[in-house]
A and B are shown apart, each in its own frame.
Chain A
Amino acid sequence: MSATRAPGAVPTAKSKEPIRPQGMKKTRNPKRPLVYVLLSVGLLIMSAPFLWMALSAFKTSSELSASPPVWIPTEWTLDNFRDLLDKLDLPLYFMNSVIVAVLVTLSNLVFCSMLGYALAKLNFVGRNKIFGLVLGALMVPGNLMLLPLFVLMSKLQLIDTYAGLVLPFAAGAFGVFLMRQFMQSIPDELLEAARMDGAGEWYIFWRIVMPLVKPALATLSIFTFLGSWNNFVWPLIATNDPDKYTLPVALATFATDPNKAGGSNGMLMAGAFLVVLPVLVLFIALQRHFTQGIATAGMK
């Protein structure tokens, strides 16, 4: 590998193409600075709103309205956060969001895996029809269900309850699809051997299949948790009592109510910062799962 490395050339890290003529690599190198410049400019634009948010959250009100804009606060302050916490019970909304997201994630892990296993590994009458249903459900926009769902939840007295926020999302079609894809790669022989030994289907599912699909479960957890955390329309509809708001609903209500937020961009940036920060940290820590999950789902 090192033999092909031209002196002074930037080594291409992986040994993907072990025997590459030297000339070919030279044709690639001259473009590379340009690629880096373009990507860096892109990245700057992509991250500017986040930087602006994070920095503005710590600015004093005079610097917030300074013109030309001040990027780095000269005097860092926590006043925006303090004011915001006075007006908005963020810990409560945070807890609501966490509880709903955890419940949604857990139920998806169990229910989607169960159906995924049945679709991938069990031979039963109606299997193809159910799979068709799952694929169909993937296409249906959530907005189509909102009105009757609200009526149904009112009838069931589930408005302003965690159950009302969780149940419509307790088993998503995406999760079923993802788990089916992963479980198909488990060798049939393994399951047959277990059946031969007298293991029941539940035992096989819970003790053999589930441990084998842990990476898929991780991917599904991340996506489901995130989807729930960021979900807005349904929690907006299914909560009237401000004590039951999730974070996005609380933030949106606050931001669109001129009596509350007024022109206080500092408070709003502090709020956005607190909502976005956990998600960004989670994402950066687990970024590999994200891109893999998207790619898997897209590959069909």
Chain B
Amino acid sequence: MSTTTGKAAQPAKVQAGPGTSASPAAGPQGRRGRKRASMGVQNAAGWLFSTPFLVLFTVFMAFPILATLLMSFTDFGLRNVTHPLDAKFIGFENYVNLFSDDKFLKSLFNTAYFVVIGVPLTIFLGLVAAVLLNNGIDRARTFFRVGFYAPVVTTIVAVAVVWRFVLDPSDGLIGGLFTEVGLTPPDFLGSETLAMPSMIAMAVWRNLGTVMVLFIAGLQAIPTEVREAAKLDGAGVWHEFRRITVPLLRPTLLYATVITTIGYLNVFEEPFVMTQGGPSDSTLTVSLNMYREGFNFFHMGYASAMAYVLFVVIMGITVLQLRLLKDNTK
């Protein structure tokens, strides 16, 4: 199938110099071939194949990341959208102002609230679903898995619109169920205390499928022999779970926690659609706050500082999680 047309020898078979057999994975055969294939040709090909990604990465990622940092030290405003270089350098003023800005501190607190409650709940329920699905259910497994995963693939905006209606105290589903049992339904999204928990509930509902799928893959990677051995040694269900499943799931738990945390720290669509950050900023998250400052009020320098604070927080928490949850047995 892969016969090539020209049998002509490859031009320019420059012998590879010393130190070029860098790939440790290549076996003896591969290494011999690699030496014969010219290093120069591969260098050129390697960079040519990398070029499209690198160009896009540089223009639309690396440059903006750097530019955000630079903008955060300026008074970048609406007029600077057309004249970016006119923005005035103001040092750390934006950052100083941020930490005396009650609204920003509130949004930082709200985001933390969302993450601290939301992430463990999502991980826990995702793990429960995975363990249940991995528990001898064979024929119905796909059916349940599809059902639990479906919210993940759906558009957050649409889902947020639906949840807004589900939680509506007068016409909504939950409100209706309250009335049916003779209770007055609370105004979930209109209440300062209940708006955030409602949004967390929705996030958990939407994201536990991802965690579940990760854990199912992790559970299936545990060799059956290990479980059988534990059973033969008289380990009960709980013991097996505690001593076999949990330790061997550690890498999965780490990955699931890290990606869920990063996702939750960036929460934006849910408050944008469901509450617009209200009532009285009780669901204003850092991302939503940044969006408003940057694109409604065009305080783009100030918003850039917010973006960087959030970024630093995300990096810090990720590193911390990698440290804390790292596999200590290795």
Give residues in A with beta carbon < 8 Å to B. Answer: 12-14, 16-17, 24, 28-29, 31-32, 35-36, 38-39, 42-43, 45-50, 52-53, 56, 64-65, 67-69, 110-112, 114-115, 117-118, 122-127, 130, 133, 137, 139-152, 154-155, 167-168, 170-171, 176, 188-190, 192-199, 201-203, 205, 207-208, 226, 229-230, 232-233, 237, 247-249, 251-252, 255-256, 265, 268-269, 271-272, 275-276, 279-280, 282-284, 287, 290-291, 294-295, 298-300
Q: Are A154 and B4 in contact (CB under 8 A)?
A: no
Give CA–CA (A280, B52) in the complex, Å.
33
Q: Are B37 and A143 in contact (CB under 8 A)?
A: no
Q: How many residues on B have C-beta within 8 angstroms of the other chain's C-beta atoms?
A: 125
CB neighbours of A232 from chain B (8 A) = 155-157, 268-269, 272
The 8 Å CB contact of B304, one of A53, A147, A155, is A147
Asked if B308 is an interface residue, CB under 8 A from chain A, the answer is: yes
Among listed B62-70, B90-98, B99-107, B186-194, interface-contacting one: B62-70
Tell me the chain B residues, 7-46 only, with Cβ under 8 Å from chain A.
Answer: 7-10, 20, 22-23, 26-27, 29-30, 33-34, 36-37, 39, 41-43, 45-46
Asked if B3 is an interface residue, CB under 8 A from chain A, the answer is: yes
CB neighbours of B20 from chain A (8 A) = 123
Q: Are B2 and A48 in contact (CB under 8 A)?
A: no
Give CA–CA (A43, B157) in the complex, Å.
22
Q: Are B171 and A265 in contact (CB under 8 A)?
A: yes
Q: Are B153 and A144 in contact (CB under 8 A)?
A: no
Smallest beta-carbon distance B140→chain A, Å: 7
The 8 Å CB contact of B30, one of A142, A188, A256, A271, is A188
Classify the interface of chain B: helix, strand, loop or mixed. Answer: helix
Smallest beta-carbon distance B206→chain A, Å: 9
Q: Are B64 and A149 in contact (CB under 8 A)?
A: yes
CB neighbours of A207 from chain B (8 A) = 2
Given that A198-B7, A255-B164, A290-B153 are contacting pairs, would A39 and B144 also be in contact in the complex, using a CB cutoff of 8 Å? yes
CB neighbours of A114 from chain B (8 A) = 49-50, 52-53
Q: Are B308 and A144 in contact (CB under 8 A)?
A: yes
4 tightest A-B contacts by CB? A124-B46, A69-B176, A148-B67, A295-B217
The 8 Å CB contact of B161, one of A29, A36, A268, A282, is A268
The 8 Å CB contact of A46, one of B22, B60, B151, B158, is B151
Given A65-B171, A202-B45, 11 extra CB contacts under 8 A: A42-B132, A48-B173, A69-B171, A151-B84, A188-B33, A189-B29, A189-B33, A198-B10, A237-B291, A248-B155, A255-B164
Give CA–CA (A294, B212) in the complex, Å.
10
Q: Are B138 and A12 in contact (CB under 8 A)?
A: yes
For residue B10, which residue of chain A has the nearest CB? Answer: A198
Q: Are B266 and A141 in contact (CB under 8 A)?
A: yes
Asked if B241 is an interface residue, CB under 8 A from chain A, the answer is: no
Q: Are A275 and B135 in contact (CB under 8 A)?
A: no
Give CA–CA (A188, B71) in the complex, Å.
47
